[in-house]
Amino acid sequence: MRLFVIAWTLLTLIAGAVPVLVGLGTGRFVPRETFAARVEALAPHAVIVLPEGPPRGVVLLFHGCGGVNIAMTDWSVVYASLGLASITVDSLAPRGIGRAEALTRVCGGSLLWGQERAGDVFAAIALAGRDPALSGLPVVLAGWSHGGWSILEAMGVPDGTLPWGLADRPEDLLERVVAVQLTYPYCGPAASGRISDWTHLPPTLLLQGARDTVVGVAACQRRLAPLEERGLRLEQHLFEGTDHSFDQRDLPDFTYLAHDPEATAKAHALAVTFLRSVFGE
């Protein structure tokens, strides 16, 4: 009898867990809001950096699962040297997600998947468009780790469909995107098939550490291959001996990850060359 009770309890727990897991993988439990509300939620937390002269484009920066870090500041300086404005988009503060919860739940995969954060990508494009200094400028999407995942998902949202958590969205926002920069993006099992089926194919720069122990390397290369077959100009660079978050100077003391100044400098230089080619230099 005791074994029967234990077996029945386990079956009940499994049966109850399946809908939850399915829900996590479909966005079923993500509250929906209007596109306008998402834009307004992001606006107070967006950090804009302008170049010295009139900007000729704008880069939208999407941080990793742990939140905004000093690498975003460093990259904004790189973009400004090219005459590009930048907007660092904080996806955590508008949702009331603190540092500890970000590291445990967002990085752990139980909160804010890339399919939901894809809505932030669309909203950030609209946010840039309403700034008088940036309106009408070509857009570059740049994402790190979880932020890269979010961009991958956004690029694959078909017309007439919505990212998780949005009740509506404009249809033409991705037409402003002229380039994508993905730095150690997540392309693992939680990412949807949409990341291999973009609706728009702007030139893309992929920067990865060859020894990335967090998100790996092969998954992104494999899942972006179908886009190359469709004509995507994909420029890939691997930094030997380098792990995840190699360009982040303010990594917490408790992590085994380490800042790699040499790889960071190379990544900056490669991005400069790539973006110069995109903007016709």
Question: 49 phi and psi, to 5 degrees?
Answer: -120, 125
Q: Which two tokens stand for residue 33?
A: 């809001």
What CA–CA distances, in Å, run from 71 to 31, 78, 247, 248?
A: 31, 11, 6, 5
Q: Helix-strand-coil percent breakdown of the chain, rounded to 5?
A: 45, 15, 40
- For the entire predicted model, the pTM comes to 0.90
Which residue type sits at 183? T
Domain shared by 13 and 49, yes or no: no
157 and 189 share a domain?
yes
- The pLDDT tens digits of the residues spanning 165-186 come to 999 999 899 999 999 999 999 9
Same domain as 130, residue 232: yes
> For residue 23, what pLDDT is reported?
45
Q: Which pLDDT does position 160 carry in this prediction?
A: 87
Residues 98, 3 within the same domain:
no
Tokens of 52: 């010295």
Q: 201 vs 50, 150, 212, 233, CA distance in Å?
A: 27, 16, 26, 8
Nearest one of 224, 222, 233, 149 to 184, comparing CA atoms: 149
pLDDT number for residue 12: 33
* Residue 26 domain boundaries: 1-30
What is the token pair recorded at 46? Answer: 């967006």
Q: What is the pLDDT at residue 26? A: 59
**pLDDT of amino acid 258:** 96
Residues for the chain: how many in total? 281
In this structure, are residues 76 and 157 in contact, taking their beta carbons and an 8 Å threshold?
Answer: no
Q: Are residues 11 and 90 in the same domain?
A: no
CA–CA separation, 260 and 134 (whole Å):
33
> Whole-angstrom Cα distance, residue 43 to residue 257?
31
For residue 80, the SS3 value is helix
pLDDT less than 50: residues of the chain: 1-23
Same-domain status, 82 and 102: yes
Query: For position 162, which CATH number holds?
Result: 3.40.50.1820
Whether residue 130 is found in the same domain as residue 100: yes
Domain count, the chain: 2
Tell me, yes or no, whether 177 and 117 share the same domain.
Answer: yes
Is there a single domain that holds both residue 176 and residue 56? yes
Same domain? For 53 and 144 the reply is yes
Q: What confidence tens digit (pLDDT) does each residue in 229-243 have?
A: 999 999 999 999 999
HSE, side-chain direction, 13 A CA sphere, residue 207: 25
20/67 same-domain check: no
**25 with 145, same domain?**
no
